[in-house]
Structure 1
Amino acid sequence: MAVVSPAGTAGSVAWLDALRRRCGHDVREFVEERVREHFGGRAADTPAPEVLPEFVSGGKFLRPVFAYVGWRCGGPESAVALRAAASLELLHCFALAQDDVMDGSARRRGRPSMHVVFSRWHREKGLSGSADRFGESAAVLAADLYLVWSEQLLRGCGLDAAVLARGWPVYDRLRSELAVGQLGDLLNDARALPSWTDVLDVIRRKSGNYTVRRPLEFGAALAGCEDHVVAALGDYGGLLGEAFQFRDDLLGVFGDPAVTGKPAGDDLRERKATSVVALTAELADHRQRGELAELLALDVVDEEAVVRWHDLITATGARDQLEKFIDDRVRRALEAIDLAGLPHRPADALGVLARQCTERVR
């Protein structure tokens, strides 16, 4: 099944939306098939057969879309290439499920996190042992399944082995960078006030490369794109990936829960050393550093503390500075694409994606 590719910016928006819908359909169908194949006995009585397919729904499918746009920089419209790109969504589900366990996040995409669902089921069944421990363990195992299924979907997508061979090195690098970046994120506790340089390094590894750059390079590698095209996509991806994370960090502090699916100030409650916190520390004057120290020393970040954080972040200029960083990186990313001479469809789509990834509400 070929993917429809209408012309123009409005057409690119529709084209990207169609890609997301197709990816969503392919990924959910694949997970449902794996659940029917593997789940029986006692495991079938857990929430897993319902949770595993449900968890893959409702995402933005950014990584598969970027991968497919990378493919279109040198390859034709292709349903099998889109399935290869869709495998990255299962890798993302692996990362999300584990990330929620590590962060202790109660909600994901407006719904209870996976480990919360498993813990609740354990309590309702009156099983022995720690319900929280069970929930976390079950979520980690579910994440492991997504990791295995991601590679399985890629191997069986329908692309020739020689084509897939071009993409494996990027796919492996993406997965390794994700894990190393996550470890760095664990080390960057807000109370330790990591430097802006350290936080930016984690952003580049865990988000910038993982979300935009490597997926683009993965798709371009599969398509056999020329070196100058891969280099331009890498420049665009690195810059836009940083801008994407800056926006995500701002939403984690100031975002509307109805839009983000998480409580306002959730990153502050979890004491994440995000770009917002790091830049606030960098820009704070003597008096503001005193206020910052008090907030970092709090045992519990309640609603009043969140308001104090908002006031401090705004007063230091960190919020405005991050907005400037976002605008600057988007501008430079688009310049990299303009200079590369890409085909119209992927070039126009990358412009649309740059706006969609960094809009103030998403």
Structure 2
Amino acid sequence: MNQKVEIQLFAKKLAKYKKLIDADIELYSKNIQRSTLSNYGAYSRVATDAFIDILKRGGKRIRGSLVITGYEMMGGENRKMIVQASRAIEMIHAYILIMDDIQDNSLVRRGGPTAHVALADYHRKHYLSGDSEHFGISQALNAMGIGNHASQVIVLNLDVDEELRIKASSILNQSIVTTAHGQTNDIMNEVNSDVQMKDIDNVLEWKTAYYTFLNPLTFGMVLAGADCRATDAVRDYCLSAGRAFQITDDILGIFGSEFESGKSPMDDIKEGKKTLLSLYALQNTDKADKNFLIQMLGNKDLTMSEFERCRDIIVDSGSLEYAKREATRCIEYAKNSIRKQTIDWNREGVDFLVGLADTLVDRRA
């Protein structure tokens, strides 16, 4: 099967999964909003609505789709249950997005205000007493807690054997612990002047590869009864695809379109993010450009002309081309690792994973 056909089949399957997941989330959202108002009142509804807004606000549903893919690869047949499990993963994704936006001090998420910004606006519009920004962050933290723990309730009530529920829940939560360590290291990298490529690699693996690929895929596989041999077989694919995904994300973060990505291309420089792009540029440019880039990383008052010079440094140092080559290398490794497996998997699932890998470098958002 050629690459074009693989991508077309993947896109068709992803659209099908997204439709299922979105419909389930829409119904769940109405129920949880109604029960929140009935059981806890209008104040709690404010935080719940903020969480639901992020949960429902677009997205490709890649993580939820990987849950279904992992389950069906192993021969799972309970579609209703696995869509509910996908919802739980997407809820965890929304919870992590809210946390990430607070920590990055981001204003925009998927074309709209971030949760803490929207809640601060709520405070201002209703002329409430106190500090609007503090209120927004505080209530966003509550929204995170509500969404995260509601997702755990879903997992613990899935229609599968108790042993599988416990095993899946354990894998899920351990992966989130790893993701939290990845986020911790990412933030430390921002304030550390002596960041090495190994520090970047740790974040690529712990924060992105586990969270976006390994966690949802193995979660779905375990719910279908997969053993360690089966889940270990997808590890190389997930870690390599996750690395490619994040490298591409970092490229889009600086060189992508704000309209398509839903965030300003200046954000990563303003936040001082240490990525493969920025570190390679620092290691492979002249002293003047290196000093300039160091000064601009973390500069909240970054101007457009300064930002454009930063981009020029990244390009001229060879960093952009290096990052693209590395992402492509990781994708080829991921595809080969999944194709060579001898485990009796559902072929459509394998094709989905190969197609997903093919789309990573060329994505626009």
Q: TM-score, normalising length from structure 1?
A: 0.91
Q: Which residue in 1 is equivalent to 2:275?
A: 274
- Report the equivalent of 2:21: 23
How far did 1:346 drift?
A: 0.6
Quick one: which amino acid aligns to residue 24 of structure 1?
D
Aligned to 1:43: 43
Q: Quote the offset at 1:249 in angstroms.
A: 0.6
SS at match of 1:173: helix
- Give the letter aligned to residue 349 of structure 1: F
Deviates more, 1:23-32 or 1:209-218: 23-32
Call closer, same or farther: CA 1:88–1:297 in 2, change over 3 Å.
closer
1:320-335 aligned within 5 A: 320-335=321-336
Deviation at 1:67? 1.9
Deviation at 1:12, TM superposition (A): 4.1
Q: Residue 48 of structure 2 contacts residue 146 of structure 2 at CA under 8 Å; is this kept in 1?
A: no
In structure 2, what is the equivalent of residue 4 of structure 1? none
Q: Quote how far apart the aligned CAs of 1:92 are.
A: 0.7
1:240 Cα deviation after fit: 0.3
CA RMSD of superposed structures (Å): 2.1
User: How many Å separate the matches in 1 of 2:300 and 2:259?
Assistant: 27
1:136 aligns with 2:137: yes
Aligned to 2:68: 68
1:284 correspondence with 2:285? yes
- Cα displacement (A) at 1:35: 2.1
**Inter-partner Cα distance in structure 2 for 1:8 and 1:102:** 37
Structure 2 residue aligned with 1:237: 238
Unaligned ranges ≥5, structure 2:
none
Q: In the TM superposition, what is the alpha-carbon distance from 1:69 to its structure 2 partner? A: 1.2
Contact kept, 8 Å, 1:254 with 1:264, in 2: the verdict is yes
The answer to whether residue 90 in structure 2 is matched with residue 89 in structure 1 is yes
Alignment match, 1:53: 52
Check the 8 A contact 1:257/1:264 in 2, yes or no. yes
- 1:1-362 maps to which residues of 2 (within 5 A)? 10-39=8-37, 40-43=40-43, 47-48=46-47, 50-57=49-56, 58-79=58-79, 80-189=81-190, 192=193, 194-296=195-297, 298=299, 300-341=301-342, 342-362=345-365
Q: CA deviation at 1:226?
A: 4.5
* Partner amino acid, structure 2, of 1:51: A
Range with bigger deviation, 253-262 or 195-204: 195-204
Contact 1:254 1:265 in 2 (8 A): no
Output the CA distance in 2 between the equivalents of 1:335 and 1:226: 22
**How many residue pairs get matched?**
355
**Aligned 8 A contact 2:73 2:347 in 1:** no
SS in 1 for 2:240: helix
1:8: Cα distance to partner? 7.5
Q: How big is the shift at 1:203? A: 1.7
User: Which residue of structure 2 aligns with residue 3 of structure 1?
Assistant: none
Deviation at 1:49, TM superposition (A): 5.0
- Larger deviation, residues 74-83 vs 308-317: 74-83
Name structure 1 gaps, 5 residues minimum: 1-6
Q: What secondary structure is seen at the aligned counterpart in 1 of 2:158?
A: coil
Identity %: 25
Q: Which letter maps to 1:189?
A: E
Change (3 A) 1:231 1:42: closer
Distance 1:21 1:297, change over 3 A: closer
The question of whether the paired residues in 2 share the 8 Å contact of 1:190 and 1:277 is answered with no
Contact 1:216–1:234 (8 Å) recurs in 2: no
Letter matched to residue 257 of structure 2:
D
Residues 212 and 237 in structure 1, CA contact (< 8 A), matched pair in contact too: yes
Q: Please list the CA deviations of residues 215-253 of structure 1 after superposition, one character each: whole Å capped at 9, or x if unmatched.
A: 212222222234443222111000000100000011111
CA deviation after TM superposition for structure 1 residue 359, in Å? 2.0
